Amino acid sequence: MKSFTRKLMSVIVAASFCFGLASCSKAPAATSASDATTTVAESKASESSASSEAKADVKTVSAGKLIMATNATFPPYEYHEGEKIVGIDAEIAKAIADKLGLELVIEDVAFDSIIAGVQAGKYDIGCAGMTVTEDRLKSVNFSTSYATGIQSIIVKEGSPIKTIDDLLKGNYKVGVQSGTTGDIYMSDSEGGVGENRIDRYNNGNDAVVALKAGKVDAVCIDNEPAKAYVAANSGLVILETPFTEEKYAIAISKDNEALLAAINKALDELTKDGTIAKIIEKYIPTNK
């Protein structure tokens, strides 16, 4: 199922000192304002050139753009705010695109079409609160993880389902978003309820509507969207014990190792400078 600080620069004066010695003056030659400006400009130009060369190997579907596939029904990771798609994943992807000198373009598609679209070269990345699984790794590569997710269970207030065990051992129907890890985990007959006890929906909202209408007894979905749906729909609660925990990462084509390396480098920098933590805190305040 989903801002940033930049480089620091310094002015190096050693060159001016050496030039003064070469001129046989008794003291280092003073640098004029225009000379200093030229030196800084040359330094920036050199850095820009080096940066361009470093990014030269990164190929994208459309030149100068980073096309991201997501499913914008997954707050706070990705959702619509008017015509714009916002959220944690949207901001992190924008920060990555900025570091790569690319324009971010977000495509809102069905969740279960994201992997296939990335694999086929239709999108550069899939970023949608997506968990790394063995099955998905057969089709695409994944970046390093940037966030942790929890699969939670939503039920109606007063439901006989009080615990995960109640859900698994009873004969209850569970609503899931098609293609998500909630779908994968719940359809497993050993760790979940099994294929015969799940109903699949195009998005989390449809699953929640089905729960309210009594078509399913519970919904399995990531914790943050679960909290948003419960807050927006009276009469629903989240079970205290999470179903499972998982790591979110970005899906990238196996044919684009250069983009994978560039995104991992960007994620590393954004993690170290605190940008990713700030984005997550913006949408999921720890003191809330």
Instruction: For residue range 15-50, list pLDDT tens digits in order.
Output: 333 333 333 333 334 444 444 444 444 444 444 443
Those residues with Cβ within 8 angstroms of residue 35's Cβ, 6 or more apart along the chain or in another chain = 16
Counting the structural domains of the chain, the total is 3
The percentage of the chain sitting over the pLDDT mark of 90, rounded to a whole number, equals 70
Range of the structural domain that residue 219 is part of: 149-246
> Is 4 domain-assigned?
no
Please tell me whether residues 163 and 217 are part of one structural domain: yes
**Angle between helices 257-272 and 88-99 in degrees, nearest 10:** 110
Cβ atoms within 10 Å of 205's Cβ, excluding its own: 20
> Is 232 domain-assigned?
yes
Please tell me whether residues 201 and 216 are part of one structural domain: yes
Question: Residue 102 — pLDDT band, cuts 50, 70, 90?
Answer: very high
Within the chain, residue ranges assigned H as helices are 14-22, 33-55, 88-99, 114-119, 134-137, 164-169, 181-187, 204-212, 223-232, 257-272, 275-283
Please tell me whether residues 87 and 33 are part of one structural domain: no
Say yes or no to pLDDT of 100 above 80: yes
Dist CA 178 CA 207 (whole Å): 10
pLDDT at 187: 92
To the question of pTM greater than 0.75 for the whole model, the response is: no
> Is 60 domain-assigned?
no
> Is 1 domain-assigned?
no
H/E segment holding residue 177: strand 174-177
